[in-house]
Amino acid sequence: MNNRTVRSPLARMSSDLCLVINRVRRAYGSHSMRESAVGASVRQAEQYVDQTARQLLRGQADWSAWLRALSLYEACWMEELELHCRTERSRPAA
């Protein structure tokens, strides 16, 4: 047996999702994620991730579909961050 650890699909999916979440958190830094979390695009992307995860576990989707769902999820968060930053820059200084 080699040194490579065999992980269950659920463990791999969890790890993949944690990597995405950690990248998003680092990108947001001191910015609040609360407003972005309730945005329609983020909620829709979360639903897509959930749906794809269920399909993958049932054998109705493959790993490339899972990775596309995670990529979309991360992109939605980053778009929300960019929108948040633009809004902050456009506000007059107090």
| Confidence grade of residue 60 (pLDDT, cut at 50, 70, 90) | very high
Q: Between helices 9-28 and 40-57, what is the axis angle to 10°?
A: 160
pTM check: above 0.75: yes
The residue ranges of DSSP E strands in 9-50, in sequence order, are none
For the chain, percent of residues with pLDDT exceeding 90: 69
Q: Would you kindly state where each structural domain of the chain is located, as residue ranges?
A: 10-16+34-90
Residue 93 has pLDDT above 50, yes or no: yes
Query: Tokens representing 50?
Result: 């959930």
Tell me the C-alpha distance between 71 and 21, whole Å.
11
pLDDT at 31: 87
